[in-house]
Amino acid sequence: MLIHSASQLLTIAGPPQRGQELGRLGIIPDGAVLFEGSTIQAVGPSAELLASYPDAERLDAGGMVVMPGLVDPHTHAIWAGDRAAEFELKLQGKTYLEILESGGGILSTVRATRQATIQQLVKQTSARLWQAFRHGATTIEVKTGYGLETETELRMIEAILQLDHEGPWELVPTFLGAHAIAPEYKDDPQAYTDLVCREMLPALKEFWETSTFNRPLPFVDVFCETGAFNLAQSRQILEQAQALGFPLKIHADEFDNLGGASLAAELHAASADHLVTSSESDIASLAASGTVAVGLPGTPFGLAENHYTPAQKFLEAGGLLSLATDLNPGTTWCENLQMSIALACRYMKLSPAQAIAAATINAAAAIQREDRIGSIEPGKQADLLLLNVSDYRHLGYRYGGNLVNAVIKRGKRFPLPAAELEVQ
């Protein structure tokens, strides 16, 4: 298949983009891309590729932007129930404690998720993944973390793998048994930490080793925050995970700075995420490492707060910066990564080009898939978007809608279905 006559073909070629290099889109005007099966074979000006491959099946992009599929490297897309009532209470000024007392907060999602069957989890999550996919996310990281007990956490992993198998998207599972202290251990966080280390992680490893599929081990993540896991507990979990061979991620510096970002750099985590309250020294540690800093602008927006990741500081320090939605039922229910780009332009002061690179090649690095996705280069997987615009800057400039005209995943074009007559 030869897609030609793109007004701008954004290759975003080359390695993940560090510091002020972020935003190198590698634009080919009147560009074309050739792929065979799921693999990109050639990229260049339309005239050149049309001449070189006269027999290829053709798709005229008709002056649209063609770009790599978006990559969402941080979501909590799988859960049961919703927290619409809690949203209303928050607007009324109810405090976190009042919401907890009224049965809200993360533990209400844990209750609903523990009660859900794998079929129910798959059905509810599938609707959200379709929203993400039709808005251009072709690879999506999905975390567990609403089970907080071995059985439900593993059920969530199984549901993620089933969803990955069933849908057009590509999912990257992350184990987040350390998302919160399980209610059974609320007075003894250390005992829950020990449970994660001694029971959950070995069980996850065994599940992987006894499965018939052949996929890389999932990420192990931890929420390092006041009220969740302190720095020592976070280190304990991540070091145990690392000893078992799992690649690492961390939620750090969302509200309080406990030192999680520097821990991520020390342990060579794939990413450190949120990073709103990171210190100069945390930023320097991350910038000196291979750990990707993931900004999640939907979260403060969803909460109507004004605390965004200080993106410019990460870029000035020479760090690797990425973007993700943080899709979750408590703080930000938005599946649309284009919206994260629009928010990042306005509140993290990224240019559209920087935000696009952050949500493609650098997002691929945040899930250690930059060798295969995140750019349009020969040998890479044919994950492509056609946008209904002729200038890439409309991503960022426009918001709240969908500029995606067509999604191509692993070389297969998916017409985007109209909304289905079904409650989501």
Residue type, 170: E
Smallest distance from its own copies to CB 332, Å: 8
Q: Which of 13, 393, 410, 411 binds its own copies (CB under 8 A)?
A: 393
Smallest distance from its own copies to CB 17, Å: 18
Q: Does 220 bind its own copies (CB under 8 A)?
A: no
**Tokens 């509810």 — which residue?**
124
Taking the C-alpha atoms of residue 232 and residue 92, their distance in angstroms, rounded to an integer, is: 36
Is 46:61 a contact under the CB 8 Å cutoff? Answer: no
Is 169:133 a contact under the CB 8 Å cutoff? Answer: yes
In this structure, what token pair is assigned to residue 300?
């403060």
- Segments of 70-227 assigned E as strands: 70-72, 137-143, 170-178, 219-224
Q: Does 97 bind its own copies (CB under 8 A)?
A: no
Q: Which of 150, 190, 312, 351 binds its own copies (CB under 8 A)?
A: 351
Nearest to 6 by CA among 29, 24, 40: 29
Q: Does 57 bind its own copies (CB under 8 A)?
A: no
Among 85-93, 172-180, 243-251, 371-379, the segment contacting its own copies (CB under 8 A):
85-93
Smallest distance from its own copies to CB 348, Å: 10
In this structure, what token pair is assigned to residue 59?
């798709």
Smallest distance from its own copies to CB 314, Å: 17
B/e letters for 318-354, b = 16+ CB within 10 Å, e = fewer, are ebbbbbbbbbbbbbbbbbbbbbbbbbbbebbebebbb
Cα 159 → chain centroid: 17
In this structure, what token pair is assigned to residue 318?
């020479």
∠ CA(350), CA(337), CA(311), 5° rounding?
Answer: 25
Taking the C-alpha atoms of residue 47 and residue 65, their distance in angstroms, rounded to an integer, is: 17
Q: Does 92 bind its own copies (CB under 8 A)?
A: yes
Q: Which of 38, 162, 190, 402 binds its own copies (CB under 8 A)?
A: 402
Q: Does 377 bind its own copies (CB under 8 A)?
A: no
Q: Which of 36, 42, 405, 410 binds its own copies (CB under 8 A)?
A: 405
Q: Which of 94, 111, 346, 410 binds its own copies (CB under 8 A)?
A: 346
Is 31:42 a contact under the CB 8 Å cutoff? Answer: no
∠ CA(379), CA(380), CA(386), 5° rounding?
Answer: 125
Q: Does 301 bind its own copies (CB under 8 A)?
A: yes
Q: Does 84 bind its own copies (CB under 8 A)?
A: yes
Q: Does 422 bind its own copies (CB under 8 A)?
A: yes
| Count of chain residues binding its own copies (CB under 8 A) | 60
Nearer to its own copies, 51 or 423 (CB): 423
Q: Which of 16, 44, 352, 374 binds its own copies (CB under 8 A)?
A: 352
Q: Which of 135, 251, 369, 380 binds its own copies (CB under 8 A)?
A: 135
| DSSP 8-state class, residue 322 | E
Nearer to its own copies, 190 or 405 (CB): 405
Nearer to its own copies, 48 or 82 (CB): 82
* Binding region for its own copies (CB under 8 A): 7, 62-64, 82-85, 87-88, 91-92, 127, 131, 135, 298, 301-302, 304, 306, 333-336, 338-339, 345-347, 349-352, 386, 388-391, 393-394, 396-402, 404-406, 415-424
